[in-house]
Every structure is written in C-alpha cells, then in structure tokens.
Chain A
Amino acid sequence: MKRVLEIHHITVRFGARAILKDVSFSVHEGEIVSLIGPNGAGKTTLFNVISGVVQAFSGDVIFLGRPITGWPPYKVCRAGIARTFQIARPFPDMTAEENVLIGLWFGKSPADGSRLLSDEREAADLLDLVGLHEKRHTPGKELTLSEQRRLEVARALATRPSLLLLDEIAAGLSPHAVNQAAQLVLSLRERGMTILLVDHFLNLTARVSDRLVALDQGEKIVEGPPEDVLHHPEVLSAYLGERETAEEA
C-alpha cells in the first residue's frame, strides 16, 4: 500500500524542553490511524508540525514521497493535508457557508482544473455531509461545540485534501454525537480519504481505527492494531499514571 505520510525521527523543542523525541511512523493510503496518549504526550504538537504551524527541531515529514518539513501552513494545505483544531476555531463572524467557502477558494485547486459545481453548491454539499445544512447562514460563533467541530471538518474537506488530520473531534460530545462523529469518519474513508486522528479519551479509536500509535511524554511507546495497543502494559501504565495523578490532585 502506498505511504501517504511518513514521519521520520521528529524532535520538537520548546526552549530546553523536548516536546517530541525522535518520533517515527507512517500512514498508508485509505487508513485510519489514531494518535493516542495522555495529556502532554505531544499529539497536538505532532499535528502542528505536520501542518506547518510549529517547526520541528529535527526530523522529516514526507507527504506522498515529497519532503514538506518546514513548509508554511498554506503550502502544506495546498499540497493536500487539511486539519481541524483541538479547540474548534471557526471564523466567528462568518456564516457556516462562508467558513467553507474560504477552504474552497484558498485550498488545493481542483484536480482537473475545471469545476463542475458552483462554489455555493459545493459548500452546500459539504455542509450537508456534516449535517449542518440548516445552519449554513448561522455565524461560526453561534454554533454549538459539536456543530463547530463538524463545521471544521467541512471546512477542512473544502480544501480537497488527500490526508485529513482530525484533532479530538469527539472530545466533550454526548454519546450520540460521538456516534455521529464515528459515522462521519468512516464515511470520509469511503470517499477515499486517509485519516490521522488525535484521540485523548479513546472515544473513537477502538471503533474506527485500523491502527493506533501511542505516545507518552513525547516518545512513541508502541504502534499496532487497536486491541494490541490498548492492552499494552506501557499504554495502560501511561493512562493509569495519568488517572492516579488526577486522583492525587
């Protein structure tokens, strides 16, 4: 299977502190891979490195065979990687439709150079896909948390990515909304998307992922099929350690 994303020995330092230490793994075409790990494991930082928001101290990010390390965010996006944020950040004063149009206009150009649908029609289809059609004229700031997360997915899809990075799309959602999110992720894969998830609370991972990559304190501890990783002693101790720390606090 073709490798869509290769992370080679990525290290990130903020001052003297290493946030990520020598992390390597790959994501193959059509796969759903989840990054799991307790708070501070470095999952979101890794997303930031891939999307160009944070610069790595060393290591390489290879996307579809091309090194993209150090590229600015807009170039990474136009190469075909889209992301959402852990704390949803829709453009607050733009309507849902306008949020999506930004992605359509400035993301990757359509493959064949021509467009079959009008921008508004394409935006409407994407909002339909995430169940926000009714809210298309509502400003970003007036949407609920779950709606904002779904809007971010629609907006990311508007940039026509081949790899989608979803940061905690299920965090803080009701069980029903988590189910909806799981359905959405699976339907995106059916559309040919490769997906990398960050999932701190393990809400989605077991249900949708083909593989998990577990991080703890900036290091990769294990990767493999969900059932193996979730029962791995180091993963258990990383999560239990977090729970004990939380209980002590």
Chain B
Amino acid sequence: MKRHPISSSAVFWAVILVLAAWPLGTAHPQLVCRVFTMAFLYAVVAMAWNLTALSGLISLGHAAYFGLGAYGAALMDHYGSGHLAATLTAGALSAGLYGALCAAVFRNLRGATFALVTLAAVEIPKVIADNWESVTYGSLGLVGIRPLPLVRLGSVAIDFGTSLTAQYYALLLLLFAGTWIHGKAIHSRWGWALRAVREDEQAAGVLGVPVHLLRWTVMTLSALLTGLCGGLYAHLHGFVEPPVVFSAHLSAIPLVLSILGGRFRWFGPALGALVLYPLDQLVLHPVLPAGHAAVYGLVIVGSVLFFPKGLGSWKK
C-alpha cells in the first residue's frame, strides 16, 4: 500500500496546532476568530461534499442539504424543542432523508446528467421554503433562532451563544470529527471500495463491491453531515432565508475548496477551506468588497489547469 505523503500531512497538523493554540493568547481580533469559525464549518461541508465525489459523482446541489439542515433546525427551534440536540437532529435528518431519496432516484445517473439533476434538486426544497408561508414565513425567512446554548462544566460556564472563542473551539472539534470521517473514506476498506467504484464501477461490482448500496450510503451520509452544518449555521447566524441557505454559492463552495485542497487527500478539502476562506474574507473582501467572490471562479480555473490534484499533492 502506498502511504500518503508524510510531509504534507505534517504541514496540515502543524496548521491545526497553530489554529488550536492561537486564540489562547490574550488579545485576538474577533473578526479573525469568526472567519476561522466559518472556515471550519465550510471545511466540514467540503468534506461532506467530497464523500459523494469520492464515489465518482460530482454534486452541484449540496445547497439543498445545507438549506434543509438550516430550515430543519430553524423550524424545530420555532415550533418544537429549542434544545440543540433536537434542532440539529431535525436539520441533519431533513437533509439526510432528502439525500437518501435523491441517491435512490438518481442511482443510475452518472457524470454530467447526475450533476445536472443535483443542480435541479436544490430548487424543490427552495421553492417550498419560499412559498409555504404559513409554515416557513416564505421569503421573509425565519428570524430569532436561538443561539448556541450556555454549557456549565462544574463551576465553569461556557456561553457558546455569545463567546466567539467558544464557538471557534466547538467548530474546531467538528472539524476534527469531519476530518476523521473523511480520512476513513480514503484510508480504510470502505475507502478502497469507494475508490474501486470511482475508477470502474462495473469491475468493482463483479469483484464483490455492492456498488448501489455503497453509493446510497455515502450520499446519505454526505447529506446528513451537510445538513448538520446547515443547522449549526442557523444557530450561529440566528436567521435563515431561502436565497441565503439554498444559494448556488453554497453548492459551489465545497467543490472549490475540495478541488483546491486536493480531493484525494484526507486533509485536502479542509486544507482548501483553511487557505481560501480566510484569504477571501480577511484579505480580498476589504480590498474588493463587491468582487471578492470572483476568486472562487479563478481558483477553480487555476487549480484545474495547473494543479488538478490540488494543494494537498504539492509534494509526494
């Protein structure tokens, strides 16, 4: 078995260590803290997206799962329990069920046709959220979603709702969990099955790999994880509205981050997120307030042309 390059994963771990230690210093800019918190969130969305991509299918519609996750959590918070476990479960399950349904209905589609139908699949929940006003408040969206809760550990109270540092560490933990799952999808037998299906699904099938079941499982898991992130987003921002949580940008982000970081490395999508999102928000946004998002387009073109395997493959 060929091992993944030690050097680039060592660099990745060094980055994570710095990120874990950095807010411990006394003064740090709140903006930077917030931007990295969101970078961790998008890193997990990117890894969730890449789970589907690792089975050889490119989705252009992960905004559907993100939006359903955000709406699932927001609606549970509004009509049912405001308990975080309940809202996040509602978000993840809404997205997961839609993902499972899409995976079953699209099971025989590949390549461009698969990408097209995933793009179309965003419109269904979006139009429902936009028009079912008696439940979702339509295009006004849902506001006043409760922030993340205050947690007491003995005598210490951590307010995840107001402390940006606490949110930062919570999302960093989520990043670890996401990276672990993503790592398993590359360096385990499950990962080898995904790779076999990606390289030649008919050959994989006759060698005993259950192609349809594998794809269905991985797409459902991918949707669940994306939905969980959508739910967290709803709590972090306090409001959801259709054009924001179902936006095409949210379908494009995970794709751009994964391609930039390297789709076939366990740390690739996370690396892409940790490099590009802060660069975009902290460096480009102040300089180009209107056009900074164009960098995502440039990154796709640049990566595909000059380093198709992503930053993660910079050194063998």
Q: Which 7 A-B pairs have the closest CB atoms?
A: A73-B205, A106-B208, A91-B199, A107-B208, A77-B208, A74-B210, A103-B207
Question: If A94-B195, A101-B192, A102-B196 touch, does A53 touch B208 (CB 8 Å cutoff)?
Answer: no
Cβ of A53 and Cβ of B199 under 8 Å apart? no
Question: Which of A21-29, A30-38, A81-89, A187-195 is the contact stretch?
Answer: A81-89
For residue B208, which residue of chain A has the nearest CB?
Answer: A106
Q: How many A residues face the partner with a CB closer than 8 A?
A: 32
Count of A-B contacts judged by CB separation below 8 Å:
81
Within 8 A of A (CB), among B2-61: 2
Tell me the bound Cα distance from A71 to B205 in angstroms. 11
Residue in B1, B199, B205, B207 whose CB lies within 8 Å of A93: B199
Instruction: Return the CB mask of B207-231 against A: 1 if under 8 Å, else 0.
Output: 1111110000000000000000000
Cβ of B207 and Cβ of A159 under 8 Å apart? yes
* B206 part of interface (Cβ distance < 8 Å): yes
Cβ of B200 and Cβ of A89 under 8 Å apart? yes
Cβ of B206 and Cβ of A73 under 8 Å apart? yes
Tell me the bound Cα distance from A178 to B112 in angstroms. 40
In the complex, what residues of B have CB within 8 A of residue A133's CB? none
Cβ of B202 and Cβ of A89 under 8 Å apart? yes
Tell me the bound Cα distance from A51 to B284 in angstroms. 55
* B193 part of interface (Cβ distance < 8 Å): yes
In the complex, what residues of B have CB within 8 A of residue A52's CB? 205-206
In the complex, what residues of B have CB within 8 A of residue A8's CB? none
Instruction: Identify the A interface with B (CB < 8 A).
Output: 51-53, 72-78, 82-83, 85, 89-95, 98, 101-103, 105-108, 155-156, 158-159
Residue in B193, B195, B203 whose CB lies within 8 Å of A85: B203
* B204 part of interface (Cβ distance < 8 Å): yes
* B152 part of interface (Cβ distance < 8 Å): no
Tell me the bound Cα distance from A98 to B202 in angstroms. 17
For residue A91, which residue of chain B has the nearest CB?
Answer: B199
Tell me the bound Cα distance from A107 to B203 in angstroms. 12
For residue B214, which residue of chain A has the nearest CB?
Answer: A74
Cβ of B202 and Cβ of A105 under 8 Å apart? no
Cβ of B203 and Cβ of A91 under 8 Å apart? yes
In the complex, what residues of B have CB within 8 A of residue A155's CB? 207
Question: If A95-B2, A102-B192, A106-B193 touch, does A72 touch B206 (CB 8 Å cutoff)?
Answer: no
Residue in B192, B199, B200, B205 whose CB lies within 8 Å of A105: B192
Cβ of B205 and Cβ of A98 under 8 Å apart? no
Cβ of A91 and Cβ of B205 under 8 Å apart? no
Tell me the bound Cα distance from A91 to B195 in angstroms. 9
Tell me the bound Cα distance from A116 to B259 in angstroms. 42
Cβ of A91 and Cβ of B212 under 8 Å apart? no
